[in-house]
Amino acid sequence: MKTLASLFLAVALCVPVVIFGSDVRNVVFPEPQKIEISADEGTTSEAAKNLRFCIDASCGNEGYRIEILPEEIVVSHATEAGKFYAEKTLEQLKNHYGNALPLLRIEDAPAMRWRGLHLDVSRHFFSVEEIKKFIDTMAFYKFNRLHFHLTDGPGWRIEIKKYPRLTQIGAWRVDKTDREWNWRETEIPLGGNAETRKLYGGFYTQDEIRELVRFAKERHVVIVPEIEMPGHSFAAMMAYPELACAGNNVPVDGLRGKDMVCVGKPETTQFFIDVLSEFAALFPESPIHVGGDEVWHECWLDCPDCRARMKRENLKSSVELQTVFMRDIIAFLKKQNREIIAWDEIFAGGLSDEHVATMVWREPELGYRAAERGPVILCPGEWLYFDMYQGKPESEPLAIGGFIPLEKVYEFSPFPQDLSEKARKNILGIQANLWTENMTTMAHVEYMLFPRAFALMDIAWHGAPRNYARLLEQIRLQLPNLKARNCNFRPLEK
Ligand code: ACM
Ligand code: ZN
């Protein structure tokens, strides 16, 4: 048998190494950081069953090494995540080459810690089985964060024992799925039995949530639950009208922009603390996302309780009402030693807390400034909102608007040249957001996700966009994998 040293020839010469028809560097997605191919091109290993795992601290947190030798395959890793990613790489190699694997050596590790996908299950609801499939596909491509948008105006999707009406009422709305999205104004009926009326909706029981968390953990995906506050709270206020400001006729005003809870009443803060306590127990290892986006602060000026709080706390503007409300929520979670995330707006009113990660959905510059203070996740709407059109609206399913084709996603460069070292370290990663106003089925979600998720992952794994032509070739080689997983996608040639 040849020695390892002579078997492998570093192919750092940038010549594509074509084995059995396709460049081996294009077969595994995301493309590993380094692949060295055996000098004996065409030699294969039938040793797929002869797998040996070794611990090697030098592989780092999510990294791994694979050596495919004639008689065995050696996988080195420092963590269980690294081992899992090595297994996914081998799975992809086997899917492509069968049992006759090319002799090679891979060294791999991601550039970014947060490789996320967001899924809105409020606007449309997806079953536990569908979410499991989504997570499994994420894991196959080494995504590691599922931002689970569980509460919003059109539906509350998680059982909270202390407040049963959140799901008895807030999880159901009059079924208007036969109409175009624009005509589907949310109508949550009070009372009645969801089973016997034609209502749209659903929610996850606490047992189902625990099962999803377990399933995701096995695949090294952290589910990051979000509870929206103080805005996007129509469903919660329909269930518990006392959360609303005095004078807010929730069924009518709540749909006309007044969907903020009353932040003047201490009972509102207590409500969210109670809900968060159940969240914290259900997601014991997750950061918790506390929402905070798209708040119409001025509407609080009509409320005596909110005005009284402004006076009591000497606040100069209604924006600061959000600041003090979030401050109390954050203080509660900090006491529980929880990691916290919020949308970028919550910092507008002077809140400054290096403990809270900023999730930036507006301009990335907001993120670069925030990264001077603390952790940041970038999901800017201009590049990473996968609810936008991928092609000409006439030939696409209805989308929210905009135009973000694959090429556009691949233009997003998370690290500008002039970023300080501190800010660079604080940028945890990137994610794409799937708001599901128009996505009524998981097949549609998948269509919006792929192939754009490949561009996102390539940037997350390597830290920057690279070669678009190569990406296209790599995507082409992934389509059989998507088909085999029964996962929908938008065809490349469309
Ligand atoms: C958002 O898109 N409102 C976070
Ligand atoms: Zn109020």
232 is catalytic: yes
> Cα-Cα-Cα-Cα dihedral of 31, 32, 34, 38, to 10°?
-90
Task: Give the torsion through C-alpha atoms of 402, 405, 409, 412, to 10 deg.
Answer: -70
Q: Kindly state the average pLDDT of the residues 123-139.
A: 98
Strand pairing report for 340-343 and 356-360: parallel
Per-residue pLDDT, 353: 87
Q: What is the atom index within ligand 1 of the atom nearest the CA of 232?
A: 3
Predicted confidence (pLDDT) per residue in 437-472, tens digit: 999 999 999 999 999 999 999 999 999 999 999 999
Long-range CB pairs of 210-213 (<8 Å, 24+ gap) are: 210/282, 211/128, 212/128, 212/131, 212/132, 212/135, 213/282, 213/283, 213/286
Query: What is d(CA 260, CA 238) in angstroms, rounded to the nearest whole number?
Result: 12
Q: Residue 296, Cβ neighbours under 10 Å: how many?
A: 12
The 10s digit of each residue's pLDDT in 222-257 is 999 999 999 999 999 999 999 999 999 999 998 888
28 CA to centre of ligand 1 in angstroms = 33
- Please give all residues whose beta carbon lies within 6 A of any atom in ligand 1, as ranges: 293-294, 343, 361
Give the confidence band of 43 by pLDDT, cuts at 50, 70, 90. Answer: low
What CATH class has 114-484?
Answer: alpha beta
Catalytic annotation present for 294: yes
> How deeply is 401 buried, as exposed, middle or buried, from its count of CB atoms within 10 A (0-12, 13-18, 19+)?
exposed
Q: Where are the alpha helices (DSSP H) in 283-318?
A: 304-312
Selecting among 40, 294, 382, 437, the annotated active-site residue is: 294
CATH of 2-108, picked from 3.40.50.1000, 3.40.50.720, 3.30.379.10, 3.40.1350.10, is 3.30.379.10
Residue-range domain boundaries for the chain: 2-108, 114-484
Q: Where does residue 379 rank: exposed (0-12), middle (13-18), buried (19+ CB within 10 A)?
A: buried
| Global pTM value | 0.94
- Alpha carbon nearest to ligand 1 atom 2, residue: 361
Distance CA 88, CA 100 (A): 17
Least confident of 96-100, 145-149, 367-371: 96-100
pLDDT at 367 over 80: yes
pLDDT of residue 192: 58
Average pLDDT over residues 94-104: 93
**pLDDT higher than threshold 90 for residue 41:** no
pLDDT at 22: 65
Query: pLDDT tier at 129 (50, 70, 90 boundaries)?
Result: very high
Residue 336 CA to ligand 2 center (angstroms) comes to: 27
